[in-house]
Amino acid sequence: MTFDPCWLSGQRLPEVTIHASGALAQTIRAELRQTRRVRHDVEVALCTLGRLGETPLAAWVEQALPVDGLGDEGFVVVRRGNQLAVAAETGRGLLHGYFYLLRYFEWMTGDFTVVERPAFPVRMLAHWDDLDGSVERGYAGRSIFLRDGRVVQDLARVRAYARLLASVGLNAVVPNNVNVHAAETRLITDHLSDVARLAAVFREYGIAVHLAVNFAAPIELGDLDTADPLDPRVVRWWSAAAGRVYDAVPDLGGFVVKADSENRPGPAAYGRHHADGANLLARALAPYRGTVHWRCFVYDVQQDWRDRTADRARAAYDYFIPLDGLFDDNVVLQVKHGPLDFQAREAVSPLLGELQETPFALELQATQQYTGQQKDLCYLGPWWREILQFDTTGAGGPTVADRTEAVVAVANVGDDPNWTGHKLAQSNLYAYGRLAWDPAADPVSLLHEWAAATFAIDDRTRTELVEIMAGSWRTYERYTAPLGVGFMVTPGTHHGPSVNGSEYSASGTYHFADRYGVGVDRTVATGSGFTGQYPEPLAGRYENVCACPDELLLFFHHVPYDHVLQNGRTVLQHIYDTHFQGYDEVEAMLVRWKAIADRFDPASRDNITARLEGQLANAREWRDQVNTYFYRLSGVPDAAGRTIYR
């Protein structure tokens, strides 16, 4: 059985000698048997440091070793003359070094030394796959792991997937849905042999399996309120369950928990429950060195849209800052990058700068729930890098990447023939892995890497493709929600325009547009007070309507339509301009693609062409519905005289 090889299709290596033993060394040997050979005068050796003396570059490698070592996953690459060595302390590091060699060998010239260590110890992909095989917020087919209540029998595709993840440096995976239903707790009660089979495949590639569990549902306890973390019966149940899981999978990474976080009235009533629940699980896992990833996605679903002080954006901070320092050492708080929900543009969550005593993970989303659902091209690498490099103090302090202990993304794959539905959406999976390893990596350079490894095309064609893709996130932002406004999507599906679709919902109000103006007042002076959750000088910058960055203006402020942005345009004219511009950019993307499409394989050509044509229709709907909506409210025409449907 064969699968789309994605970016592992065309790489070639010369003969390679391996001076290492162990399971991961065997994985590398198996990889080499699949890799095409190229005649080359360079002699390549892969070795663990314990066998460094078997290579002629031992002295050079030793000189390059960091004082504090390479760690479990780091590696060194040294070339001198026609000798090239990849060295690591462990098999896991050597596997990463092998894939580095596979990625860059044809571009390696002259003498050089490279030392690589990952920025974060945990680099995870979280799947929202249900036991019946469906995928929540999945846009590329059904689950590759689960079907009919069990792990799939044939794990060949899972093995191919593990190989893809390892090749970009990822080391953790959650195969089941963190929004897990109570009945699906049976994955850890009835089907541990399935979990063990799955873990064995990922183990071949140095990837640890973590399991999503429903804290509120130890099903053997019947009608007991099993969400009570202080009930000794609940404590005993989870302790026993952890023991059974680790008997089956001794290297399980731990549990990931959402804990009913969208259905509680507020932090005063429920906040301490988070610390008690997380610590209960942490103590059950502690004997096995397991970790609890506790998702901080919380908000009140009983908000009154009439109350302008109610603000979903405040919720995570209000719940978790009072609990900072109350969690056990093996609890990691998993924080969405923004305070709302993976919008095309929103402020960086203040939790990422303000948690001081509790380790946390940054959570991103590759599956494009609100950014086109892998129907629209939206390369997210630039957005993710912007988040990772965000200055959490606003005054030259530590970045998000400096502060986080782990990085997690909601995965974007399914059993679609090309894994991601849109062939070009593979770039988001690739970029996520590479940025999780090196958060300072250049997203455009990553696109070049991905395109060169994925398609058999010449350099000129690759450059053209990269230029089509590189700005697609900002294009998507332009023709959808302006200036940091969110949730103008169709409720439920979260795709396509519905400007007022969520505006009167119990989960929040997102733009407050009326005939006078638009935006959410989140200031301390007159609004919800959300700006006060940031430290100074960030808080002051966001509080001041004149200093607030244009791209977040309507996220933090309600302003009249004639308010002048820092770019010199009024808010209303900016809305008109960007929606016309976004549509025009998609149209130009399609024209540029069709000019090079015949240089690609037929399956990729047909897939990409169909998706871009669909995106153009989608951009047209966004442009016309948003512009018409604001024209009807304001009565102010477009200064450029373009067509707005009235």
Q: What is the CATH number of the domain that holds 592?
A: 3.90.1330.10
Count of CB atoms situated within 10 Å of the CB of 645: 10
Q: Tell me: do 133 and 92 sit in the same domain.
A: no
**What is the DSSP code string of 288-336?**
GT-EEEEE-----TT--TT-TT--GGGHHHHHHGGGTT-S-TTEEEEEE
| CA–CA gap between residue 321 and residue 271 (Å, rounded) | 10
H or E segment to which residue 410 belongs: strand 406-410
CB 365 within 8 A of CB 409: yes
| CA–CA gap between residue 171 and residue 374 (Å, rounded) | 24
pLDDT higher at 260 or 144: 144
Domain that holds residue 69: 6-116
Average pLDDT over residues 151-176: 97
Alpha carbon 440 to chain centroid, angstroms: 16
Average pLDDT over residues 149-164: 97
Nearest CA to 362 out of 408, 320, 394 is that of: 408
Whether the per-residue pLDDT at 225 is higher than 60: the answer is no
| CA–CA gap between residue 477 and residue 472 (Å, rounded) | 9
Residue 643 maps to a domain: no
Quote the tokens at residue 243: 């023991």
Mention every residue, 6+ apart, whose C-beta is less than 8 A from residue 641.
none
Residue 550 maps to a domain: no
Domain boundary among 79, 97, 116: 116
What per-residue confidence (pLDDT) applies to 644? 98
What per-residue confidence (pLDDT) applies to 188? 77
What per-residue confidence (pLDDT) applies to 100? 98
Instruction: Encode 462-491 in three state secondary structure.
Output: HHHHHHHHHCHHHHHHHHCCCCCCCCCECC
Q: Tell me: do 384 and 265 sit in the same domain.
A: yes
Buried b (16+ CB within 10 A) or exposed e, 545-561: eeebeebbbbbbbbbeb
| CA–CA gap between residue 416 and residue 640 (Å, rounded) | 44
Average pLDDT over residues 113-124: 98
| β-pair partners for 173 | 125, 209
Is residue 390 helix, strand or coil? coil
Q: Where are the alpha helices (DSSP H) in 355-470?
A: 381-388, 400-403, 426-437, 443-454, 459-470
Q: Tell me: do 104 and 126 sit in the same domain.
A: no
Percentage of the chain lying above the pLDDT 90 cut: 85
Residue 584 maps to a domain: yes
| CA–CA gap between residue 67 and residue 61 (Å, rounded) | 13
Q: Tell me: do 75 and 153 sit in the same domain.
A: no
Quote the tokens at residue 375: 């129907």
Nearest CA to 175 out of 196, 154, 204 is that of: 196
H or E segment to which residue 202 belongs: helix 192-203
Q: Tell me: do 163 and 283 sit in the same domain.
A: yes
Between 46-60, 82-96, 505-519, the lowest mean confidence (pLDDT) is in: 505-519
Q: pLDDT band for 303, please (50, 70, 90 cuts).
A: confident
Percentage of the chain lying above the pLDDT 70 cut: 95
Buried b (16+ CB within 10 A) or exposed e, 571-607: bbbbbbbbbbebbebbeebbeebeebbebbeeebbeb
Average pLDDT over residues 607-626: 98
For strand 291-295 and strand 331-336, is the pairing parallel, antiparallel, or unpaired?
A: parallel
| CA–CA gap between residue 221 and residue 291 (Å, rounded) | 24
| CA–CA gap between residue 161 and residue 168 (Å, rounded) | 11
Quote the tokens at residue 253: 């990474």
The pTM assigned to this predicted structure is 0.97
Q: What's the structural domain count of the chain?
A: 3
CATH number at residue 245: 3.20.20.80
What per-residue confidence (pLDDT) applies to 223? 53
What per-residue confidence (pLDDT) applies to 530? 97
For strand 331-336 and strand 360-365, is the pairing parallel, antiparallel, or unpaired?
A: parallel
Q: Tell me: do 239 and 359 sit in the same domain.
A: yes
| CA–CA gap between residue 92 and residue 319 (Å, rounded) | 38
H or E segment to which residue 209 belongs: strand 208-213
pLDDT higher at 271 or 313: 313
Residue 468 maps to a domain: no
Average pLDDT over residues 321-328: 96
Please write the tens of the pLDDT for every residue from 207-221.
Answer: 999 999 987 655 555
Q: Tell me: do 79 and 55 sit in the same domain.
A: yes
What per-residue confidence (pLDDT) applies to 217? 56
Whether the per-residue pLDDT at 308 is higher than 90: the answer is no
Q: Tell me: do 133 and 106 sit in the same domain.
A: no
Whether the per-residue pLDDT at 270 is higher than 70: the answer is no
CB 531 within 8 A of CB 522: yes
Quote the tokens at residue 196: 């063990």
- Amino acid sitting at position 89: E
| CA–CA gap between residue 477 and residue 31 (Å, rounded) | 40
User: Maximum Cα–Cα distance for the chain, whole Å?
Assistant: 78
Whether the per-residue pLDDT at 267 is higher than 70: the answer is no
Residue 184 maps to a domain: yes
What per-residue confidence (pLDDT) applies to 506? 80
Q: pLDDT band for 234, please (50, 70, 90 cuts).
A: confident
Q: Tell me: do 112 and 240 sit in the same domain.
A: no
Whether the per-residue pLDDT at 389 is higher than 60: the answer is yes
Residue 248 maps to a domain: yes
| CA–CA gap between residue 494 and residue 484 (Å, rounded) | 17
Mean pLDDT of the chain: 94
Peptide bond into 537 cis (omega under 30): yes
Domain boundary among 86, 116, 146: 116
**What is the DSSP code string of 597-634?**
GGGS-HHHHHHHHHHHHHHHHHHHHHHHHHHHHHHHHH
Q: Tell me: do 36 and 104 sit in the same domain.
A: yes
CB 369 within 8 A of CB 342: yes
Residue 472 maps to a domain: no
What per-residue confidence (pLDDT) applies to 228? 78
19 CB-side CA count, 13 A? 20
CATH number at residue 83: 3.30.379.10
Please write the tens of the pLDDT for every residue from 546-601.
Answer: 999 999 999 999 999 999 999 999 999 999 999 999 999 999 999 999 999 999 99
Domain boundary among 73, 95, 116: 116
Whether the per-residue pLDDT at 264 is higher than 90: the answer is no
Whether the per-residue pLDDT at 266 is higher than 60: the answer is no
Residue 525 maps to a domain: no
Q: Tell me: do 330 and 367 sit in the same domain.
A: yes
| β-pair partners for 76 | 87, 115
Quote the tokens at residue 402: 């400096």
CB 384 within 8 A of CB 431: yes
Q: Tell me: do 206 and 306 sit in the same domain.
A: yes
| CA–CA gap between residue 264 and residue 261 (Å, rounded) | 6
